[in-house]
Structure 1
Amino acid sequence: MLRSGRNLQLLSKNVVRENLRLLSSTPQPSPKDATKKVAKERTLDKKPVKSSSFVMNLFIGSSNTAQVFPFPDGLNTEHKETLGVLVDPVQKFFEEVNDAALNDSQSAVPEATTQGLRELGAFGLQAPVEYNGVGLNNTQYARLVETVGGFDLGVGIFLGAHQSIGFKGITLFGTEEQKKKYLPKVATGEQFAAFCLTEPSSGSDANSIRTRAVLSPDGKHYILNGSKIWISNGGFAEVMTVFAQTPITDPATGETKDKVTAFIVERKFGGVTSGPPEKKMGIKCSNTAEVYYDNVPVPIENVLGGVGQGFKVAMNILNNGRFGMAAALSGTMKASTKTAIQHATARVQFGRRIDSYGTIQEKLARMAMLHYVTESMAYMISSNMDKGSTDFQLEAAISKVFASEAAWNVTDEAIQILGGNGFMSANGLEKVLRDLRIFRIFEGTNDILRLFVALTGLQYAGGHLKQLQKAVKSGNVGVILGEAAKRAKRTVGLRQSNSLSEVHPKLALQAQLTSKAVEGFGITVESLLIKHGKNILDEQFLLNRVAAAAIDIYANVVVLSRATRALNMNISSANHEEMLARVWCNEALDRIQLNLTAVKSQSQLSNFSTMSQIAKEMCEHGGLIQQNPLGI
């Protein structure tokens, strides 16, 4: 359901590293060239890569609404009937059987609870039915994940480390033989799975992985040696997706290089051992341990996805699961908000219920808006995936960043509303806050994912500029005139027809301003590429502002789409949803403007330079530099 811990950070960081390499691989032309080479060289006789992703197209100032309007629904009648049968039993199980406080205090999930989860089918929710799984689609899965997230994030990690990443690679890339051999046992929870990537010495660069797998002399096995750290379910998993360096010889050049390969490794192969459970701040009931591999013989038929294709395997596993985090955390936010409302409507101070005070009202309203955005992102992405979309990596990354920060803020404010009661363990919110802290770190830190969003989008925009440059050189009049006309309209303040015309009339102003923000975002991106070229890679102060603006624009479009659906269908909460969307968009538009202005404001650029110098001096000094004001 949720993904594993820090063991996922490496791969998301490496995507950024790969984009850095792609963006910087082309020599930089003269600064006078307004279309600097900022994207990987593409074959000249091929058309530029096109994307259906809203966020990707945002970077060229275009609103491609195919994946955002109308708000998608990934469930047909049969799907809804199946889901209806599952939701109540899961809800009842977590209300009556699972004891989150006990799990936390014992730093383990009791066997009776684990057996109950097996009986629910919770360990194989998306595994195909023919392999003993439940066979849910992504939207159905998101709904059940949301339920779990409202009760116990630690159990969510236990379940998610097993199926969302542990054996997900077998589902996505496994051969028919691999699926038949492994899925039936892991889907039922008879055996547990883990995703093994992070190592003691590896950071952002996957090439620094030291775990190695070398083909045996008889060619029947790979001999695996190395270790992995912070592996969720690592202390007891019988089946592991392990990533290791393998030597690969280029048949054309004869040159041998190491490339990452994914393997299905069984503990019973021999040579697999685990360290003691790690002591953690939160999600204590999920097992996290170091795993060691000492001359483990891995049959060649256990290569997953092809030799040297480990990076692709890992990234697809992550991209296919991130939406679940937003779904789970929307459940967490809903539960925290309910607790806050129950207290606010019962607590009387100065002769009035505290929910009548503006300070509390603002907190509750903001909590509702953050939840609305998070939930909308989760189900928009899952539904698009169910409709066959494969172009959602930026949206999935954004949903992870947004959800993890929104859930932290919502739960923190819930504690604030409860005051001293919220700080006490008996209430349960302090445990939720401890559990939530890891979500901004694992599966790629939010800092890394912001850079990933910015750099991937910039790479796409750079390719667009490159194609324009080629059109100029080749004399493609149609392309040149079309681009010139678009820029001329921008210059004199004329805009194209509202590209968000699908939005309900009640939210027309917010749609118009968001559409204008899309165009402004594209102009800003282009100016950054022209000014900095490949050196944009080193401008992380700017990249972070670009990412922040992209996140807000995507959030606006998502809520406008969902609120429009509610208004068009005249559902009971339509007017409430319209208010949530209107206020959210109004405030987000101000933030977007501030962030886009910051990347070209001389005062802000000066501040960024100064902050860089402050940090450098602190690191050289080994701590804070200023003296205590008392001089003692």
Structure 2
Amino acid sequence: MFRPVTVSLLKYNRINFQKIALQQCFATAAEPKVIQKTEKSAEKPTEHNFSFTMNMFRGQLESKEAFPFPDVLTEEQRETLHMLMDPVERYFEEVNDPFKNDAEEKVPDNVVKGFWELGVFGLQAPIELGGLGLNNTQYARFGEVVGKYDLGVGIFLGAHQSIGWKGILLYGTPEQKEKYLTRVTSKDIAAFCLTEPSSGSDAGSIKTRATLSPDGKHYILNGSKIWISNGGIAEIMTVFAQTPIQDPKTGQTVDKVTAFIVERSFGGVTSGPPERKMGIKCSNTAEVYFDNVPVPVENVLGGVGNGFKVAMNILNNGRFGMAATLAGTMKTCMKKAVEFATNRVQFGKKIDSFGAIQEKIARMALLQYVTESVAYLIAGNMDSGSKHYHLEAAISKCFASEAAWNVCDESIQIMGGMGYMKDTGLERIMRDLRIFRIFEGTNDILRLFVALTGIQYAGAHLKELQNAFKNPTANLGLIFGEASKRVVRTVGLSSPPSMDHLVHKDLISSASVIAKNLDLFGQTVESTLIKYGKGIVNEQFILNRLANAAIDIYTSTAAISRASYSASKNLESADFEKLLAQTWIFEANERAASNLKAVSSGKHLDYFSKLSQISKKICENQGVVQKNPTDAL
């Protein structure tokens, strides 16, 4: 527990601060140990984290990975991108048939053959190993194009390279890369095998096991995986299994997850029939079984016992691509809706003149612009060497998947009965979109990931401050830097961090709105930690609202960064982009302020309690509790 900053301590340090204000700030602060390793991370120095979102949880503005909007492509890279995109777009328009793919629930062999010839199965693999060597920004542009045409094919291609063999690219030894990347870029489909019947979001609870053979040359793999994209057709798989490991500290044998590169040709690998799904029907999804599969020890990926880290980093590394893909899907939905609205006449007027329709189209444009901005901001940062994009990537997946669903839904609404018909194509897109809020980390889990990871970072800072009081003389700078901030906040003299110098002059007023909420966000997180301590992990109503506020503040920042960049370059669309950014920032930050207020509002806490009671009662009753009105008497 924090202890009050006493008068004697202040006298000891010979600095005259408002001790009452300091006592109010620290006296009731609970130990902010949110998840394991918080204390260790606080005690040893670590490299500075440049994540905008992570620092938001401390109420700090870290602008390095938000401003200016990244412009990472050289002229040569732009030319390469255009040379690739032109034939790919033509192929989707002239050869690939999304209606046929959906109806037959597969991508025809001749179409797949064409994709191999285009090189799109190896976009980010090194050129010397058969790939195209694209960076993340170029890959995002490819995803956006695929998203415009066929999300089922997008999953087929993405599951292969965004997660299927991405682990080999990130963690593979030179020998593993030489052996396998040359195959996955030329002939062999890859898959990512993590999910199991008893472990969905809880990836650490997998049951599949791999034990070392007596001769020490192989791991014997046994278990099963479900809902594996490309599972029925993949030859090369990244598989995660529990392996027994001796703990060097205790000498006890414990189970830890390890990643393996598994070939179907090893023997003992079989697949179930293709799953029948709501959408993305042409993407093969199947259960995969491993029966005494001998996996050579040299096929361990990323080190024995490091599988959980490997899995999470693969997923984190690829999430921005989902946002880019869905930005392309939104373009298609908008195009169909706008074409209809500008031609459909009702009550003597084209319906695009009606305010209700204008609001829908405008909000669709906002969601598409923000999604695209977030995707390319993250991709650009990754290409610039960022290591701190994990929260932003999670936000991009949550935001994009929900934004695309809303855009598709509103497009159908604008088109009315016509939008509901199969031939329009929106019906298929809506079915395809539904999975994006579920797979590669459900949005519910990712929101908790954002909130708890950020809170741990904020809590580590408070723990550091707590430890500083154990040796106040050596930590005066830290103690009184924090004390000063709390004093001026207490007496109402604090001001939010300024973003004025980071944005275009026409966007300064919008920047001040973001900065104000960023400051409020940090204060709210701190007060929440003080109130709940480590018990915050169980307060999911609160965590969700913190995550939602973080999403709104980060997406606002991405939008204003991009709009400022466009204005600085005098792009033709600059004025329109400023309009988009200003409008989104107003909407998103109104919502963020409301969510932050709800975290500490007694009325809202009571509302959360009532929701919990309702849910418990429904679950106890296994359904609706009340009788039908006709049975009430």
TM-score (norm 2): 0.93
Does residue 211 of structure 1 match 2:238?
no
In the other structure, the counterpart of 1:485 is 484
C-alpha displacement of 1:32: 3.9
Moved more, 197-206 or 530-539: 197-206
For residues 566 and 204 of structure 1, the distance between their equivalents in structure 2, rounded to whole angstroms, comes to 39
Greater relative contact order (CA < 8 Å, ≥ 6 in sequence): 1
Paired with 1:526 and 1:73, the residues of 2 have a C-alpha distance of 35
**2:110 partner amino acid:** A
Task: Give the alignment of 1:389-408 within 5 angstroms.
Answer: 389-408=386-405
CA distances 1:571-624 after superposition (whole Å, capped 9, x unpaired): 111111111111110111110111001011111100100110111011111101
1:36 and 1:224 mapped to 2: Cα distance?
Answer: 41
1:448 matches 2:445? yes
Find the residue that maps to 2:242 and give its secondary structure.
Answer: strand
Corresponding position of 2:503: 503
CA distance, structure 1, for counterparts of residue 42 and residue 541 of structure 2: 34
Deviation by residue 1:38-93 (Cα, 9 ceiling, x = unmatched): 45211676225531000000000001000010001121111111111111111111
| Partner secondary structure for residue 106 of structure 2 | coil
Q: Which residue of 1 aligns with 2:67?
A: 69
Distance (whole Å) between structure 2 residues aligned to residue 496 and residue 449 of structure 1: 28
| Mapping of residues 4-83 of structure 1, within 5 Å | 32-38=28-34, 40-42=38-40, 46-47=44-45, 50-83=48-81
Name the CA distance, whole Å, in 1 between partners of 2:225 and 2:521: 41
- Give the number of aligned pairs: 602
User: Which residue pairs with 1:355 in the alignment?
Assistant: 352
Change in CA separation of 1:295 and 1:167 when aligned onto 2, cut-off 3 Å: same
4+ residue runs over 6 A deviation: none
1:70 and 1:561 in contact (8 A); partners too: yes
1:191 corresponds in structure 2 to: 188
Cα distance, 1:537–1:531 mapped onto 2, change above 3 Å: same
Residue 592 of structure 2: aligned partner: 592
Please report how far the alpha carbon of residue 497 of structure 1 lies from its aligned counterpart in structure 2 after TM superposition.
Answer: 5.4
Structure 1 residue runs of 5 or longer lacking an equivalent are 1-29
Q: Distance in 1 between matches of 2:156 and 2:512?
A: 44
Identity of aligned residues (%): 63
Helix, strand or coil: the match of 1:612? helix
Specify the SS of the correspondent of 1:262. strand
**Do the aligned residues in 2 keep the contact of 1:235 with 1:290 (CA within 8 Å)?**
yes
1:496 Cα deviation (Å)? 5.2
Please say if residues 42 and 463 of structure 2, whose CA atoms lie closer than 8 Å, have aligned partners that are also in contact.
Answer: no
Aligned to 2:259: 262
Q: Secondary structure at the match of 1:83?
A: helix
Contact 1:48-1:463 within 8 A present in 2 as well? no
- Superposed counterparts of 1:350-499, under 5 Å: 350-475=347-472, 476-491=475-490, 492-495=492-495, 498-499=498-499
Question: Which residue of structure 2 aligns with residue 536 of structure 1?
Answer: 536
**1-structure distance, mates of 2:471, 2:249:** 34
Which residue of 1 is the match for residue 568 of structure 2? Answer: 568
CA distance in 1, matches of 2:478, 2:31: 15
Once the two structures are superposed, the pairs formed by residues 161-200 of structure 1 within 5 Å of their partners are: 161-188=159-186, 190-200=187-197
Which consecutive unaligned segments of at least 5 residues does structure 2 have?
1-25
Q: CA deviation at 1:31?
A: 8.8
1:260-318 Cα distance to aligned partner (Å, 9 max, x none): 01111111111111000000000000000001111111111111111111011111111
Contact 2:61 2:497 survives alignment (8 Å): no
Offset from partner CA, 1:327-382 (integer Å, 9 cap, x none) = 00000001110111100111111111110111110000000000010000000000
Q: Distance in 2 between matches of 1:90 and 1:448?
A: 35
Q: Which residue of 1 aligns with 2:21?
A: none
Tell whether the 8 Å contact from 2:497 to 2:519 is kept in structure 1 after alignment.
Answer: no
Deviation of the 1:495 alpha carbon:
1.1
What letter matches 2:459 in structure 1? G
3-state secondary structure, aligned to 1:473:
coil
| Corresponding residue for residue 323 of structure 2 | 326
Q: In the alignment, which residue of structure 2 is the partner of 1:628? A: 628
Which stretch shifts more, 501-510 or 263-272? Answer: 501-510
User: Once superposed, what is the RMSD of the aligned Cα atoms?
Assistant: 1.4
Query: CA shift at 1:185, angstroms?
Result: 1.4
2:104 & 2:522 partners in 1: Cα distance? 52
Match of 1:243 in 2: 240
Shift in Å at residue 471 of structure 1?
A: 1.9
What amino acid is the match of 2:250?
T
Q: How has the CA–CA distance of structure 1 residues 231 and 625 changed in structure 2, closer, same or farther, with 3 Å as cutoff?
A: same
Whole-angstrom CA distance in 2 between matches of 1:570 and 1:204: 45
Q: Give the SS at the match of 1:296.
A: strand
In structure 2, the CA distance between the partners of 1:45 and 1:325, relative to structure 1 (3 Å rule), is closer
- How far is 1:449 from its partner? 0.4
TM-score, length of structure 1 as denominator length: 0.93
> How far is 1:34 from its partner?
4.7
Cα distance, 1:362–1:209 mapped onto 2, change above 3 Å: same
Report the Cα distance in structure 1 between the residues aligned to 2:630 and 2:487, rounded to whole angstroms: 61
Residues in 2 aligned to 1:422 and 1:106: alpha-carbon distance in whole angstroms: 22
